[in-house]
Amino acid sequence: MMGPLAVALALLSALATFIVLADLTPVSPTHYVVVTLLLVNAATVVLLLAIIVREVWQVVQARRSGRAAAKLHVRIVGLFSLIAAAPAILVAIVASVTLDRGLDRLFSTRTRAAIENSLVVAQAYLNDHAQIVRSDILVVAVELSRSKTVFDTEPEKLQQFLTFQAAVRGLGAVILLDSQLEVVARADVKTNLSFALPPKEALPTISDKEPQLVLLPDTNYVAAIVKLQGFDNRYLYVTRLLDPRVVPQLRATQASVAEYSAIESRRVGVQVAFALMYTVIALIVLLSAVWIGFNFANKLVAPIRRLIGAANAVSEGNLFVRVPVRPAEGDLAHLGETFNRMTQELRTQRDDLVRARDVIDTRRQFTEAVLAGASAGVIGIDSVGHVRILNRSAEKLIGRSEDEALGKSLDEVLPELSPIIVAAKSGQRTQDQVTISRNGRERNLSVRVTGEQSGEADHNYVITLDDITELVAAQRTSAWADIARRIAHEIKNPLTPIQLSAERLRRKYGKVIGEDDKGVFAQCTDTIVRQVDDIRRMVDEFSKFARMPKPVIVGEDVADTVRQAVFLMRVGNAEIDIEADIAESPMRAQFDRRLISQGLTNLIKNATEAIAAVPPEELGKGSIKVFAAREGEDIVIDVVDNGIGLPKENRSRLMEPYVTTREKGTGLGLAIVGRIAEEHGGHLELGDAANKIPGQRGAWVRMRFAAAGKPETPAQVAAKPDAAELAPQMTLNE
């Protein structure tokens, strides 16, 4: 009963409001009466809203509890509301237009135009006088500038001139001012009016080209001021009186316009009052329609609520739900049967998809396990060249993680492979070798490209990378060792006869040869003996490289080995500061003391030669610092000098046999040290001294070997992290 009662009460209050505002009752529509009626209407609207909110709350609770058809309730109510609101809004628009046209007759456009035109005429009068004053002041200013020399010699003529100009032009005042607003001269004009001077702070803004005009209708005159040319901070100020009959008329016109505007402003209030009336009626009709819509929706959605609930259950994954079919429901019963058949088909298809997914997941997990455990690097790219697959071995080889590489172009991740991919796409070749440089180390990779067509036009490619760096290095070392053995065998045999023959010639014929040729003979034989010694020393190095002794791994103190090597080199190179910085003492490890000492001695010797290559004026004091420390499972020995440094390009090739940057070097020193480090399960690293000691020039050579004394296999070397990963402070230039 609350719904119909509230609707009836709301309609009665709206009717009473209409009668009062239409002035059909003895009650006058005063502000108090109108506000009272609007409050009564607001109370009825609130009552209707309370009833509707109760219905809405029930719908919300139904939705929270998972009851079906709650949204359908809202749509039906919205439809009823729209049907009810559209006529009400249309009536309100028609009424507003009708009221506006009725008020237009009261506020005629012709009347408004006449009043506004009178104000425009008055303003035009002021503007005309302003233009006259502008012309007058410019003419007087020009005449003053022309006659300045006359006025400077005869000052009394200045006032006469100003008085004459005021009389001829009908000006109320003509005044000559200085920058302090002091009157220099003024026209002798008989008038009872006093004219206000411009403010002092405005003078700097006044130019000598365009005067500033001031319209002062309330003071019955217009004024203008301009700066005089040729005068020292002098300003000309003139005023022109307005017609005394026009000024009151202008004021009356302005008052009439203001009064008309005030009357016209009340028009909005009348329109607002009627708009409120129509708004109240529209709200009442709309809320009544909403209430009716709620009741109608409760009866309408009952037959399909079960179907919506079943659909929600299916959306949550329950495909075993069935809708009860009632023949009396007509088309909805047929819809229920169709729904039940659909759920049965969905159950069958889902079971097939689950089985297929399980098979695919099993294959995917197996493939991922194979890729993750493979020692070879595997990179998968799509038809446009973007990386889609990257296993762990490939991450280590290219120096980028999976997150950094996936989704990016192969040209950006590994540009060295671009020629091979282009060749594979054209069908020329699918296997090649490339050299890449990462973290200061060069790696030789064997690359194989396999194509895979996933669609009619999409061609994916799988790239397999094998690290053959150690294999290539071993092949080169073996080849050079074989060459060294052949050279040592072929050269060393004739050296001894040559030397003995030269010494025999010197002993047997040294006393026989005359004094003139004796010096040349001795110099030649000495040269032969000395060069033979140099060749024998070179051949000895070839022999050492060709037949490196197997290391005898025993427990030794690294710190003591480093100190002895540094001491011997310090004695032999007193002009160079050679220092040792050892992290811990003793530092026990498993290694061949003789070989490690030999390698460290070679490194220090190379450092002394690098220092000797620097001009004395640039070198200062030669310095070599040797650092020894333990890093994880490795022993690290660093040799840092302030010599000439290492070349930036092809730096890693310096560790290959017979590659050197010195004129008399054999290129075997670093190769031998590298062999020693490899025999001890480590390797040699080349860098710049500035990466170890900031600001210092020169070279930084690091010898790393396993503290446990177990040599690494090539596979272990390939899987071992780079120096940059274990020692972030070391950044080798590529």
Q: Per residue in 526-548, pLDDT tens?
A: 888 877 777 777 676 666 655 56
Residue 254, domain member (yes or no) = no
- How far apart are the C-alpha atoms of 606 and 184, rounded to whole Å? 98
Residue 12, domain member (yes or no) = yes
Please tell me whether residues 630 and 706 are part of one structural domain.
Answer: yes
Please tell me whether residues 495 and 642 are part of one structural domain.
Answer: no
- How far apart are the C-alpha atoms of 18 and 284, rounded to whole Å? 14
Q: Which pair of structure tokens corresponds to residue 333?
A: 């019963």
* Closest of 342, 322, 339 to residue 331, by C-alpha: 339
Q: Give per-residue pLDDT as tens, 177-222.
A: 887 778 778 887 777 677 777 777 777 778 777 787 776 656 677 7
Residue 339, domain member (yes or no) = no
Residue 569, domain member (yes or no) = yes
pLDDT of residue 475: 65
> With 60 as the cut, is the pLDDT of residue 715 above it?
no
Residue 667, domain member (yes or no) = yes
Please tell me whether residues 480 and 456 are part of one structural domain.
Answer: no
Instruction: Tell me which residue range forms the domain holding 489.
Output: 474-534
Please tell me whether residues 412 and 506 are part of one structural domain.
Answer: no
HSE value, Cβ hemisphere, 13 Å, CA-based, for 498:
17
Please tell me whether residues 439 and 584 are part of one structural domain.
Answer: no
- How far apart are the C-alpha atoms of 603 and 657, rounded to whole Å? 15
Residue 380 maps to which CATH number?
Answer: 3.30.450.20
Please tell me whether residues 417 and 454 are part of one structural domain.
Answer: yes
Which stretch of 92-106, 375-389, 599-613 has the lowest confidence by average pLDDT? Answer: 92-106
pLDDT of residue 150: 77
Give me the mean pLDDT over the 241-269 stretch.
Answer: 67
Please tell me whether residues 693 and 564 are part of one structural domain.
Answer: yes
Contact between residue 525 and residue 506 where contact means Cβ atoms under 8 Å apart: yes
pLDDT of residue 468: 74
Q: Work out the angle between the directed axes of helices 70-106 and 246-300 (0-180°, nearest 10).
A: 160
Please tell me whether residues 558 and 613 are part of one structural domain.
Answer: yes
Phi, psi angles (nearest 5°) of residue 78:
-65, -40
> With 50 as the cut, is the pLDDT of residue 718 above it?
no
Residue 340, domain member (yes or no) = no
**Which of 273-277, 454-458, 555-559, 648-652 is modeled with the greatest confidence?**
555-559
Domain boundary residue, one of 509, 534, 559: 534
Report which of residues 705 and 731 the model is more confident about. 705
pLDDT of residue 318: 84
Band of the pLDDT at 271, cuts 50, 70, 90? low
The one-letter code for the residue type at 654 is L
The domain total for the chain is 5
Please tell me whether residues 234 and 296 are part of one structural domain.
Answer: no
**Which of 378-382, 491-495, 551-555 is modeled with the greatest confidence?**
551-555
> With 60 as the cut, is the pLDDT of residue 714 above it?
no
Residue 253, domain member (yes or no) = no
Q: Give per-residue pLDDT as tens, 119-153.
A: 666 667 667 777 777 787 788 888 887 787 777 77
Give me the mean pLDDT over the 608-625 stretch.
Answer: 86
pLDDT of residue 275: 67
Which stretch of 96-100, 393-397, 573-577 has the lowest confidence by average pLDDT? Answer: 96-100
Q: Give per-residue pLDDT as tens, 39-57.
A: 888 888 888 888 878 877 8
Please tell me whether residues 280 and 235 are part of one structural domain.
Answer: no
Q: Give per-residue pLDDT as tens, 222-249.
A: 788 888 887 877 888 888 777 666 666 6
Q: Give per-residue pLDDT as tens, 662-685.
A: 655 556 678 788 888 888 888 888
Please tell me whether residues 49 and 174 are part of one structural domain.
Answer: no
Residue 689 maps to which CATH number?
Answer: 3.30.565.10
Please tell me whether residues 657 and 583 are part of one structural domain.
Answer: yes
Q: Give per-residue pLDDT as tens, 298-321.
A: 666 767 777 877 888 888 888 888
- How far apart are the C-alpha atoms of 468 and 446, rounded to whole Å? 7
pLDDT of residue 379: 81
Residue 312, domain member (yes or no) = no
Q: Give per-residue pLDDT as tens, 464-489.
A: 887 777 676 666 666 666 666 666 65
pLDDT of residue 206: 80
Domain boundary residue, one of 534, 560, 586: 534
Kindly state the percentage of the chain with pLDDT values over 70: 73
Buried-exposed string 112-131: b where 16+ CB fall within 10 A, e elsewhere: eeebeebeeebeebbeebbe
Q: Which secondary structure element, helix H or strand E, spans residue 671, and what is its range?
A: helix 669-679
Band of the pLDDT at 497, cuts 50, 70, 90? confident
pLDDT of residue 713: 46
Q: Give per-residue pLDDT as tens, 370-422.
A: 766 666 778 888 877 888 787 777 777 777 777 777 888 877 777 877 787 77
Give me the mean pLDDT over the 562-579 stretch.
Answer: 88
- How far apart are the C-alpha atoms of 409 and 207, rounded to whole Å? 68
Chain centroid to CA 139: 66
Residue 230 maps to which CATH number?
Answer: 3.30.450
Which stretch of 95-104, 498-507, 597-606 has the lowest confidence by average pLDDT? Answer: 95-104
Which stretch of 171-175, 262-266, 405-409, 692-696 has the lowest confidence by average pLDDT? Answer: 262-266
Domain boundary residue, one of 467, 501, 517: 467
